[in-house]
Structure formats: C-alpha cells, structure tokens
Amino acid sequence: MGEKLKVGILGATGMVGQRFITLLADHPWFEITALAASPRSAGKTYEEAVSGRWKMTTPMPDAVKDMVVENVNEVEKVAAQVDFVFSAVDMSKDEIRAIEEEYARSETPVVSNNSAHRWTKDVPMVVPEINIDHFQIIADQKKRLGTSRGFIAVKPNCSIQSYTPALAAWKKFGPKEVVACTYQAISGAGKTFADWPEMVENVIPYIGGEEEKSEQEPLKVLGTYKDGQIINATEPKITCQCVRVPVLNGHTAAVYINFEQKPKKEELIERLREFRGFPQEAKLPSAPGQFIRYMEEEDRPQVKLDVDYEHGMGVSIGRLREDSIFDYKFIGLSHNTIRGAAGGAVLCAEALTAKKCITPKQ
C-alpha cells in the first residue's frame, strides 16, 4: 500500500466501534478520518462522547480523543471524509438497512458488522478464509444500487466462528448433520461485568435471534456463487442452542457432527492444521498465520488461555473424539469481538482492498 485509505466508523461509541478503533490504531493500510454516532454524541469530542463508557482493556488511542464525532445520519458529510466505512450502528434492522444503503449509494463502500443485510440476496457475507469468491456478487449489487464504487459487504455472526471454519476444512468428507451448543461471552451483548452484574455467577439459556443465525448463516457462508447469485449450501443440517455465560470475551462451542463418509480422526486434524485461505496467501495485515489450530490437551481450548490466539483472529479446536451417537464431537473457541466482530470486518476490508474492490476516492 502507498497512501493509507481513509476510513470512517459508524457507531463509533459502542463496544464494537471501540474495538474497531483499537484494531485500526496502527493499521498499515487504513487510517481513521471520521467517527460517527447518534445525534446525542454528535458535536462532542470522541473522548467526551464515551466518557465513562470506554470498555476496552487498552487505553483509548490518542489519535481519536480529540476527533469530533459526526452525526451518523449526515451521510454526505461523513462520506466526503472517507474512502469507505465500517458499520457497527445500534439501530433497528430497517434503519440499519436504510442507512447502510444510503452510504453505499453515496459511492462509499460499507463493511458491516451488523446483521441487517446478511440475507440481502446480493450482499456477500464473508469469512475471508472460506468464501472470498462471494465478493463476485458485488458487481451485481452495484447494478441494483446504480453505483460505480459503493456497495455493502458483511461478516457473519460471532456465534458461528468457533465451528464453521471446521466445517469448511472438512468439506471433502461431507458434513451432513451438526448439533452445536454455544457458550457465549457477555461482550457479545456489548456489555462488561460492570454494567451487567446479574451475569456474575449466572447462565442465561437464551440469546434473542442467536440460534436462528447460528443454524442458517453457515449455509450461506458455505454456499456457492453462480450466475449472479449465492446458492446456499443444503448441508449440513444444523441445530443450535445458544447460552450466555459469565465470560467477558470468547465464544465456546460444543459440537457433534455426522459425515457422509466418516474420516479418520487423524485426517480431520490434518485438514484443520492445513486449512488456509486468501488472507494467508496474500499475507493480509490482520490475517492469522495459522487460521485453525488443533490442541491435543484434554482440557483445551480454554477461554482464559486461548481466546487471544493469533491476536484474537485464530480459531482453536480441541477434544475431537468419536461419539456414541454421532461420528465425532469437538470443542471450538473464537474471540467474539475480534474474529467474530470488528477484526473479522477489518480482515474483510483488507481482502476487498487486495481485490481492488475498495480503492481511494478520486
């Protein structure tokens, strides 16, 4: 990269927006030039706007403290300052769909952490190691929007990151049935223990909308792009239960799986360790060197020990063993606000930049 691309963050004051800021603080390709949030934060410096609400464990970067927060609804004003935006706005789904399309129609690419456009037919939902070919549908989306450079791309839900990469790595063996129970950190709800004390020593066996996302989104990610459309995979059939647990960061999944052709355990582990994608081949700045690691220890992966693997961008798999009902079972772990949210979106933006989908505004 020569000159850095100018990036804006929509929803910059929330937890995912804060995570974007920490990840982009010293990014070699991207530079934050605009921060936008709700009208109640607009006009304040960023430090004032998040006073008492900074939820990251690292200090707020000096570069953003004195930046004046823009009104996210003033699309043309924000768009004039950036080459593209990350979206982490806290609105209704209808409002998110509308404002992200408005930014795209302003010829500003949108890389979204939100779920609102994940099922829009011409919007790619991408884990860059798995389905980067889905970016091809952006050309079709631009025709619908009437744009030359504006579009929307999204990353999938945080809940699927700890097991969907394994399904992709094992595609050769025909995964056909999956039961997944996810144990999800409180930061997935944008909270810490300080502002959600009832989660201390507690488990809540319900997360609104999460089970539907966990069952359906992997099928789009594992689908194929053909003739201007993304055709969802029909297998594996997936059923999930999603539980909130008293952990700050890290989504764990306990997974049971049947295959069309049952492989040997050693074959499955080899596939995990060898699995690579475009981010590794292109050496993208945020790409983990080893996307999936297999852990031999009986008591791993653990959140405390393993959630920050590859700076939170890698996936840890362990306890793979034969099951009395299914072919195999295993445990997966991923960082929900890095790989599962802001970091996954940053990696998508890097891939889009490497593929010349995001370029400087002229």
Q: Are the C-beta atoms of residues 20 and 345 closer than 8 Å to each other?
A: yes
Q: Within 13 A of 279's CA, how many CA atoms are on the CB side? A: 27
Active-site residue, selected from the candidate residues 27, 117, 134, 158 = 158
For residue 152, what are the β-bridge partners? 110
β-pairing, 152-154 with 229-231? unpaired
Q: Are the C-beta atoms of residues 7 and 32 closer than 8 Å to each other?
A: yes
312 by DSSP, 3-state: which? helix
For residue 231, what are the β-bridge partners? 224
Provide the token pair at 274.
Answer: 């060898």
Tell me the chain's radius of gyration from C-alpha atoms.
Answer: 20
6 by DSSP, 3-state: which? strand
Q: Are the C-beta atoms of residues 281 and 219 closer than 8 Å to each other?
A: no
β-pairing, 5-10 with 30-37? parallel
H-type alpha helices, the chain: 15-24, 46-49, 62-65, 75-79, 93-105, 128-131, 138-145, 164-169, 210-221, 265-274, 278-281, 303-306, 343-354
107 φ, ψ to 5°? 70, 35
Annotated active-site residue 251? The verdict is yes
Cα–Cα distance between 158 and 88 in angstroms, integer?
13
- The total of other beta-carbon atoms located within 10 Å of residue 142's CB is 18
H-type alpha helices, 253-321: 265-274, 278-281, 303-306
Active-site residue, selected from the candidate residues 27, 117, 134, 251 = 251
Residues in CB range of 141: below 8 A, 6 or more apart: 122, 123, 151, 152
Residues labelled catalytic: 158, 251
